[in-house]
Structures are given as structure tokens and as C-alpha cells.
Structure 1
Amino acid sequence: MRFAISLIAFISALPVQAEVIPASSMVTEVTMHPDSATILRKGSVEIPAGKHRLVLRGVPDSASRESLRVTVNGVRQIGTVIRNDFTPPHDETAPEVKAAEARIEQIEQRIRTVRDDAAQARAAVAASEVSIEFLRKLGENDSMAEAGASALRDIARMIREEAGEASQAALDAEVRARAIEEALKDLNEELAEAQQALAAIALEDADRLYIAVEVSATEPVTSDLTLSYLVNYETSWVPTYDFNLLTGDDPRVEIKRSAMVRQETGENWTDVTLHLSTTEATGQIGARTLFPHLRRIEEPRPILKQRELSAAAPMALEADAGSLAEPVVEPPLITEEVMWSESNLILTYGEPVSIASGADVLKLQLDSFAEEADVQAVAVPIHDETAYRVASMVNSSGRELIPSSFATHYVDGQLVGFEAFDGLTSGQEADIGFGPIEGLRLTRDILDQSEGDRGILTRSNQRGDRVEIEVENLTEEDWPLRLLDRVPYSQQDDLEIEWVARPKPSEMNVDKQRGILAWDLTLAPGQSQTIQLDTTLSWPEDMVLR
């Protein structure tokens, strides 16, 4: 036996008078977490007075035994036994299986009827061919030579007319047979769909748990029973988004939220209430242990050349042998993970949901709303050759837009691309990209770069760079544009950095990032803008630039 566990008390045997009562339940409610799901099953069972064992059927082997909770109302629960060996066979004749098989049988019967009708039509073809063959042999009969000319003409006319009618009958019968067989194409497609539907149902695995609950009832009672359990790693859901930028005089971003749901629990969910939760039930639920942080100082060791290192290695091992006797134990380095969802957000889908195990990937449309947006072009010439359309918006919907690995971006309904989405809390502002603007062309050229005694500088502890940036509007509309570039920065007094930009930037240290510069421009159709950036770095002669 691979597994046997008692949640309350182990039941070794039952009194002779105790009755074993089978009890069925159905999945009615599911709360899906990112990598697990909490399943709720409900059922009803008639329990006579006395002590009995309820055998709860249908729970798949994917259920976590430790998480299983069983409640039987109106009786006293004594104990529960769970095992996955020697379990009763799974009922493969469920109503949906029977319905799918009946549909296949019906379609196959229709196919047989069509083939029979076609065969019957072709029987007329065969009969006509027999008549034609008889008439042909009649014309070849030697006794025909003794007939007179008039009789021969009448016989020839009769053979010709009869043969023509027989040939026409054969042709008509073949046409009817082919017309009948035309229906086979649609019927074969319908049969394939029915077989696929049955295959999806059949993906339910046959592995089921044996769950027995010993109960005691003082009087006959109809009990409602409830089972709940956790399924790990057999289910998943992820949010997806459609962002559609509507341009014009009043630009806005339409946001459609969806969820991609799949499950491979081993049983199909039919018309269940579905909740989508951001809580990672199998993840961290408490604060991590904080270890002391020991720091120490020591005399610097000389930096050896590679040849000296090779020669010194054996001696170093001998020298360190004594120190190995008393090792210094450092506390383990704990790398903390940041949860992708910081709050317990639960979304409940408004309609019953059905998902076949292992077959369906279901996309559920959650809701949609729109936010006003400011649209501008953003240019980063150091990386890109074109500017990109960016919409700045604030999430004023009151909804929590949780992170997603997949979001689709559109402009006026036209697809521009896909990318991950970092999420957006209520009231938070975001800049969302909506593809390149091919008509806003960027160039960034290094006109002069000097170091040491090459170029305009003569000292080896100085470096100079001259960069020219140009942006050109080849579109037919005005574009507000934010251009970003950078200059180096230093945290050392001995490394001096001077720079000059023409024209001056509109903003320095953008988003508190030192050395990031921004120019806010407006370019009319056909207009271009040039920016020149000169940078000089100076440092002591006994130092090197990194």
C-alpha cells in the first residue's frame, strides 16, 4: 500500500451491523491560486440510524490528502480513512460520457444510412448495365441474319432505344448516388467533432482516492456533505490584458482584463463557481529568519601575478592548514524573493464555468474600462533609430491590475505588439508603449573622441567626447517628443566630469537617475532638431578610468 492516512482516527474494522453507504459529490466551487486550487465538493446522502461508514466516491488522486476536510451535517463524525490503493473503479459511464457515446452512435448510424442509400442507387446502375449487355448480345445473335430487312430495322431501333434508356437510367442512378454521398463529408466532420468531445471527457484519469468516513446517527437523516481539499501544481491561471490606444482629440486607453485558466486535476469541472485569487497558497506565509551579519577587517593581501600565484599555491595550502582547524562559520546568505502579488485579491467570475481536465485552456473575459491618456513620442537615440508612441495614464478605476507575462497592445484596434505588464495599483500612473513611429527618425553620431595626446587633449588623464543627436519628423502630423540621453556621472572627487549641451535639456537627473537628460520638443511635419553634447572627464595621472 503506497499511502494510508487517518485524519482523525484510524478505522480498523466496523461492527457487523454497520452499513457501508456510498456517497457521491460534485465539484461546485473552485478557488484558483497561481499554482494551486482549493476545490469544494458538495453532495447529499440518506443515513439510517446507527453507525455506518460513508464511502465518498469520485475524488481524484490529485487531491492533497493532508488538506482534505470532510463535513457531514446532522451526524457525529468518528473518523476518516484515506487511501489510494485498492480503490473502487472509477465510473466511466457518467452521464456526459453516455451522451457523447450516444451522439457518436447516432452519427455513425446516419453515415451507414447514407451509404446504404448510395448503394441502393448504384444497384439501378448495375441493373441498367445488365440490360445494355443483354441488348448487345441480342444484336450479335446469328439468328438475326435470317430476319428480313424491315424486321432488322425494327429490332435495331428497339435495341438502340432500349440501350439509350438503360444508359440514361445508369447515369441518373450514378448522379443520385454521388449526390447522396455528398452528405458524408459533413457527417464525417460531425463525427470527428463528436469523437474529440468524447476524448476530452475521457481525459479524466481513472485514479481516485478511497475516502471512508465513519459516522453515527441517532435517527434517520438526510445529510449534506461537504469536501474541500487543495490541488497543487495541477491548475494555473494567469491574467492577460488588451491595451487599445484610441487616438484623436480625446486620446484614451481601453483596457480589457482576461484570465487564462487550465486544469489537469483528473476530473472535469462542470458549471462550477470560479474564484481567481492572487494568494500563493503554496508559497511563503511567514516572515523569514534574520541571521546576524558578521563583518571583519584584515590586512590586505598582496596582489600576485599569475606566475607567482601558481608557485605560491602549494605554500598557501600548507600555511592555511593550521587555520582550517578552527573554521569561522558564516551565517547562510538568505536571498529573499519578492512576491508578484502583495495583496490577497480575489476575482469571482459571474457565470458558471466548465473546464475539461487536460483538454481546455479557457480564456475568461473579466471586464473592461477606459482611462484618459496623454500621448507623446519618446526617443532614446543611444539605443533606437525611431521614436516610440507612449501613453501616460492614471489607473483611476479602483481596480488592481496585477502583473502579467502577456499583454497585447493595439492602436485604434490595430495590433502593434506584445509584452509583459508590470501591474498597476489603483491611483498609480504608468507610461505604456504602443509601438514605433517609423516617421520619427533618430541618429546619434560621435563626432570627436579624444584621449591622451590624440586629438585636442594632450594629457593622458583626460578624455573628451562630442556627440551629435538628430531627430527628424517625416510624418504628416505634429508630434510632442521627449528625447532622452545621458552623460557620465562620478561619485569621486578626483574624477571631474564637465558637460555642455546645446540646446540645454529640459530636465536633468530624470526620475532621480543621475546623468539622465531629457529634452521636451514639438516637431512639425518635415521639421528636424539637432542636439550637440560635449563631455570632458579628468582624473589624476596615477589613476585609470573605468
Structure 2
Amino acid sequence: MTTPPDLPDLPDATDLPQSSLVLGAPVTAVTVLEDRAEVERTVSLVSSALTPGVHRLRLGPVSPLVVDHSLRGELVGVPGGSVLDLRVVRRYTPKPPVTSSSSSDERSDVPDASDVSVVERRVKDLSQQLRRAELEVDRLAAHVAVLEQLLVDVNREIAESAGAGDAHPERWREALTRPEGEYDRHDDELGAARRRAARLKAELIEAQEALEASETAPMVLTADIEAVLEIPEGGAVQTDLTLRHLTPCTLWRPAYRATLATAFSAGEQPTLRLERDAFLWQRTGEPWTDVRVTLSTARPARAAEPPFLPSDVISLRDRSAEERRTVEVDLREVDIPELGPTLGETATLSTLPGVDDGGEARRLVIPTAVTVPSDGRAHRVPLGETASAATVDLVCLPELSPLVLRNVRFRNDSGVPLLSGPVDLVRDSAFVGRGELRFTAPDAPAELCLGSDDAFRAVRSVQESTETVGLSGRTVRSRTVRVALTRFAAEPGQEASGPLRVSLRERVPVSELAEVEVRLDKDGTSPQPDALDADGIARWELDVRPDERRTVVLRYDVVAARSVSMTD
């Protein structure tokens, strides 16, 4: 098949000669998603002196974690220019040696002493020590051999003289004492020298194995980007190439710091300063130095299809006579969001939670350039701060805690939504704990608990009794809850303040069946609650003065019909 005459022949990109010049592709901007990042690189082609035509360039080094199918490029400043092909080339290369820079006055042909590895110097030192130890062993072995031969000759001479009847014990004793002493001394030194030589030999073998292991360094995975560009005739050569791709091993999470600037007291309007921060993690293999960072809650890896719903078969059957006569009732605990799960609670999570963006993708731009090394550690960067007027309420939940908590209510005046995240709580320049901020839309109310008021303490006791009415067969379970709220006196030297209002909350069970009735005993309850909502939360607004104790008694009855079987 021949090529039609109206179609020009384009050169194959693989047949183009690759330039020996490696152009750097630094990271200039990053959009960090929930579990990955979109990286933007800018390659300056000003110094490459590109002529019109097709060119094949090598860009890098880049992170080996580049997602190949997400790689795309664009030529900026070249009308009609295009990027024909982009691909990531990965290869294993030896780890580059770490050498120290020498001064300018030193000779370049003289190796620096600091370039010699510690293991290599140890091998050399151990070899010299072993050589000297072996020479010492040979010298002592020669001395021991000479002394041993001398003792043999002396013993033979003594035996011959004794056989001939020429006995001289004193002279024999003097002739044997000195050689035997020298023989023992040199024999001990020879044993010590042999042990030292054996130890040095073992250390030398170990050092040589370590040297061999260090010389065979593991290969390192590196990556480059090969780009095929087309520069039109008459096109400008001073241009930039912009590359974008996805990279895993990076994520971000929101974090906050709430500071109650003004201590709570009667007649004052507290101010809450909320600092919005973000934690960044990245282990892509290359550092981000002075890059523009944008935070996004988009989830490109999550499928847009709804989950598969299996069939749920519901069948009906007639109840038995026993089931129609008996109604089983279970007492269950239900968390009420209005109670504020952030009051005095600190969530302990074994895994990092996701970003709660309220169901809509959000973008947060960090105002300044950011530097994030590739170390896998958390790096905190500021996003901004706002100061809002706050309302501080003293809340007491005796069933959960004997403390009186400072519940701070404020509005989101930042103009951006507040994503769910942990909050460092600071009051009067003191760290009081860590809480959690739920998703809050702009200009929406929010709540935080900034520790407890140590001037208060609550003591709670519960009494319960159960009886069965003989005629009707009903079961009546009575419960009396007594709460003693105490405010301690002011410390010496402190001015005693007026009364403080504490919102004390207790709960009353709520029945969902007509056979079970919950009755509030107004005669046994003192004082009467200021409010009792549909969820069974009774609230008292108590004004407590210094060195005063207020007692609240709550009594209610749970009445069950004869056919009800109550279990806890």
C-alpha cells in the first residue's frame, strides 16, 4: 500500500536520535488529593536551542511512581507546536557514591582521605595487626622450641651423670630452674599471642565480608520522561514544556487550633481564634521545594457507579400464641448528636480517617509556597485564621463525667467550609486537650469543648427499685437520680465572682411501645426541669455561687404491662 500524495510522511519517533542533554523537570505545582497528587512540572526549553522540526528529549530525573497513563504535556509559547509522544522510562542504576567536595587548592588527582570508607580502613588496619601478631607468634614459637631443646639436653646430661655415679644435685637444680622459668613464661606468651592472632583473623574475615557487601550496593530504580516534540517552521524556540501526571504515596488532612483569647467571665464577650492548617505527607522519592500547593477533596479513584444492592427477601409469618401474649422489650443506648459528642471526648482512631467535605469536592489554596521533603512525615502548613465572637456555656453531663465543661459556640466567619478534623484546644495560652470539629458550612454555627472548669464538681448516685402490682400484673421500675453540683470557694487572694449558670443535663428513657410507659414523678423530682425534649433530655439551668452546693433529684417510673418481658 502506497501513501497518498496529499499526506506527508512523518518521521517515526523511535528513529529520532535522542539528545545527550538531560533537561531538568522540577516540580512547580502540586494538587494534593485525598490519597494521591497531581504533579505539574515545568521544563524550560530556552537553553536547549531547539530548531524547527521533530525532537526527542530526555527529561528528569523524576519519581518512579509516575502513573504512566496520566502523563500529558503542553507546549507554552509555540503556536502550532505539539507534543507527539510522552513516556516514562525506568531503569535500575547503581547507587551513586557519596563523596566529599575538596577545596580548590587541592590537587584533583590526589584522592581525598575522607572518600575511603570506614570498612576499607578497618580491613587495612586489621590486616596489618594480624601480620604483626603472626610474626610475634613465630618469634615466641622459636623461643619456646629453643628452650624446649635446652631442657631436653639438660635432662639427658643429668641422666648420664647420675648413671656414672657423678651426682651434683645443687648444680642440677640451678641448671633446671632458669630454663624451666623461661620456658613457662614464653609458653604463656605464645598462647596469648595465638589467641590474639585468632581473634584478629576472625575480625578480619568479618570486616572483609562487610566490605564485599558494601561494594555490591543494591540497584536503585530511577525514571526519566522521554518527550517527542514538534516545533513548526518559524516557531519560537524560547518556550516551556508543562507536564502533568498523578503520583501516589501522598495525602493531606485538615487540622485546626482553637484559642479562647478572652477568659470566660460574666459580662464579657469571649473571642475564639481558629487557625486552619493542613498536614501533608509525601513519600514519592523526590522533594517538593517551593511549590504551589492546592488541596482538593476530589476522589478520582472512586467509581461513580452506585454500589450493587443484593436482594433482600422479606417474608411474613403468623405469630404463635406465646409471641402474641408476650412482648419483649430491650433497653438500648442511642447517641443523640445534639448532646455534642465532642464534649470532653477525644476520638482514638487506629487508621487515618478520610476527608469529610459534605458531599461536594472542595479546593483549598495554600497562600505561600511550600517545601515538603520526601520523608513520609507529617508537615503542617497554615491555611489562614479567623477570630469570631463566641458564647461560652458551662455544661454538666454527670452520667458521662463529673466535670463541668466549657462548651464554646461560634459561627464560621472564615468564608470557606470547615472540613472535619482534629482541633488543638488552647485556653489562656494553655493547652487543654484535643477535640474534633465537624463539617461546618460558611456562616453556620459550630461547637467546641475547651476543657473543664476546675471550680465545679458533680457527684451522681442512682437508686433503682422494681415492684409488681398484684391485681394488674404490671411491672413498675422506679429510678431516682441524685446529682450534687458543688462550686468551690475562691482561692485566697482571688476576688470572689458572682453566680455562674451551669446547664445540667440528665436523660429519661423514651418508650416506643404503647405497652411501656415512662412517667416523670413530679413530686419526687426537685427542682422541676426547665426543659424536657422529645429525646428524653432533661435540662436544668442552675445559678451556682462560690462555696455553694446545688442538689438535683430526678425520679421517673417505667411501667410495663403484664405481657411485657423487660431485659436490660
- Give the TM-score normalised by the residue count of structure 1: 0.64
Alpha-carbon distance between aligned partners in 1 of 2:102 and 2:540, rounded to the nearest angstrom: 71
Residue matched to 1:266: 285
User: What is the identity, as a one-letter code, of the residue corresponding to 2:294?
Assistant: H
Unpaired segments of 5 or more residues in structure 1?
Answer: 1-8, 112-204, 305-336
CA deviation digits over 1:489-537, x for unaligned, max 9? Answer: 112111122112321111111xxx5211111111111122212222112
1:391 equivalenced with 2:412 (yes/no)? no
Residue matched to 2:306: 288
1:31 equivalenced with 2:31 (yes/no)? yes
Q: CA deviation at 1:462?
A: 2.0
1:218 equivalenced with 2:219 (yes/no)? no
Residue matched to 1:230: 246
Residue matched to 2:337: none
CA contact (8 A) 1:386 1:439 kept: no
Residue matched to 1:424: 440
CA pair 489-70 structure 1, distance change in 2 beyond 3 A: same
Match of 1:347 among 348, 364, 370: 364
CA contact (8 A) 1:480 1:522 kept: yes
Alpha-carbon distance between aligned partners in 1 of 2:287 and 2:454, rounded to the nearest angstrom: 49
User: What is the identity, as a one-letter code, of the residue corresponding to 1:80?
Assistant: D
CA contact (8 A) 2:30 2:292 kept: yes
User: What is the identity, as a one-letter code, of the residue corresponding to 1:389?
Assistant: R
Match of 1:437 among 437, 450, 453: 453
User: What is the identity, as a one-letter code, of the residue corresponding to 1:397?
Assistant: S
Alpha-carbon distance between aligned partners in 2 of 1:408 and 1:392, rounded to the nearest angstrom: 16
Q: CA deviation at 1:408?
A: 0.8
Residue matched to 1:411: 427
Q: CA deviation at 1:374?
A: 1.6
Match of 1:497 among 495, 498, 518: 518
SS in 2 for 1:544: strand
User: What is the identity, as a one-letter code, of the residue corresponding to 2:512?
Assistant: Q
Q: CA deviation at 1:282?
A: 3.0
1:467 equivalenced with 2:488 (yes/no)? no
1:357 equivalenced with 2:384 (yes/no)? no
CA pair 459-355 structure 1, distance change in 2 beyond 3 A: same
CA pair 359-465 structure 1, distance change in 2 beyond 3 A: closer
The RMSD of aligned alpha carbons is 3.7
Residue matched to 1:173: none
Match of 1:239 among 226, 247, 254: 254
CA contact (8 A) 1:389 1:433 kept: yes
CA contact (8 A) 1:10 1:80 kept: no
User: What is the identity, as a one-letter code, of the residue corresponding to 1:350?
Assistant: P
After superposition, residues 72-111 of structure 1 pair within 5 angstroms as 72-73=75-76, 74=78, 76-77=81-82, 79-86=84-91
CA pair 287-527 structure 1, distance change in 2 beyond 3 A: farther
CA contact (8 A) 2:58 2:227 kept: yes
Residue matched to 1:53: 56
CA pair 426-19 structure 1, distance change in 2 beyond 3 A: closer
1:521 equivalenced with 2:542 (yes/no)? yes
CA deviation digits over 1:313-345, x for unaligned, max 9? Answer: xxxxxxxxxxxxxxxxxxxxxxxx996113333
SS in 1 for 2:223: coil
CA pair 508-498 structure 1, distance change in 2 beyond 3 A: same
- Give the TM-score normalised by the residue count of structure 2: 0.62
User: What is the identity, as a one-letter code, of the residue corresponding to 2:479?
Assistant: D
Alpha-carbon distance between aligned partners in 2 of 1:273 and 1:91, rounded to the nearest angstrom: 31
SS in 2 for 1:222: coil
After superposition, residues 169-318 of structure 1 pair within 5 angstroms as 207-215=222-230, 217-219=232-234, 221-232=237-248, 234-245=249-260, 246-247=262-263, 248=265, 249-284=268-303, 286=304, 288=306, 291=309, 295-299=313-317
SS in 2 for 1:545: strand
CA deviation digits over 1:333-379, x for unaligned, max 9? Answer: xxxx9961133332222222222211664222222221111212111
Alpha-carbon distance between aligned partners in 2 of 1:484 and 1:235, rounded to the nearest angstrom: 44
CA pair 79-381 structure 1, distance change in 2 beyond 3 A: same
Residue matched to 1:508: 532
Alpha-carbon distance between aligned partners in 1 of 2:464 and 2:319, rounded to the nearest angstrom: 42
Q: CA deviation at 1:258?
A: 1.6
Alpha-carbon distance between aligned partners in 1 of 2:296 and 2:354, rounded to the nearest angstrom: 17
CA contact (8 A) 1:47 1:217 kept: no
After superposition, residues 115-126 of structure 1 pair within 5 angstroms as none
CA pair 287-411 structure 1, distance change in 2 beyond 3 A: same
SS in 1 for 2:238: strand
Q: CA deviation at 1:419?
A: 2.2
Q: CA deviation at 1:13?
A: 3.1
The structure having more radius of gyration, on CA atoms, is 2
CA contact (8 A) 1:10 1:79 kept: no
Q: CA deviation at 1:466?
A: 1.9
Alpha-carbon distance between aligned partners in 2 of 1:498 and 1:414, rounded to the nearest angstrom: 45
Residue matched to 2:14: 13
SS in 2 for 1:66: helix
CA contact (8 A) 2:293 2:369 kept: yes
Unpaired segments of 5 or more residues in structure 2?
Answer: 1-9, 107-111, 115-219, 323-352, 491-496
CA pair 11-439 structure 1, distance change in 2 beyond 3 A: farther
Alpha-carbon distance between aligned partners in 2 of 1:10 and 1:521, rounded to the nearest angstrom: 87
CA contact (8 A) 2:52 2:230 kept: no
CA pair 277-539 structure 1, distance change in 2 beyond 3 A: same
Alpha-carbon distance between aligned partners in 2 of 1:350 and 1:385, rounded to the nearest angstrom: 44
Residue matched to 1:368: 385
CA pair 214-399 structure 1, distance change in 2 beyond 3 A: closer
User: What is the identity, as a one-letter code, of the residue corresponding to 2:300?
Assistant: A
Alpha-carbon distance between aligned partners in 1 of 2:561 and 2:391, rounded to the nearest angstrom: 48
CA contact (8 A) 1:21 1:53 kept: no
CA contact (8 A) 2:269 2:391 kept: no
CA contact (8 A) 1:279 1:341 kept: no
CA contact (8 A) 2:355 2:420 kept: no
Same amino acid, percent of matched pairs: 22
CA contact (8 A) 2:258 2:423 kept: yes
CA pair 58-539 structure 1, distance change in 2 beyond 3 A: same
CA contact (8 A) 2:90 2:223 kept: no
SS in 2 for 1:215: strand
Q: CA deviation at 1:267?
A: 0.9
SS in 2 for 1:344: coil
Alpha-carbon distance between aligned partners in 2 of 1:495 and 1:42, rounded to the nearest angstrom: 72
Q: CA deviation at 1:414?
A: 0.9
Alpha-carbon distance between aligned partners in 2 of 1:359 and 1:288, rounded to the nearest angstrom: 34
Residue matched to 1:68: 71
SS in 2 for 1:444: strand
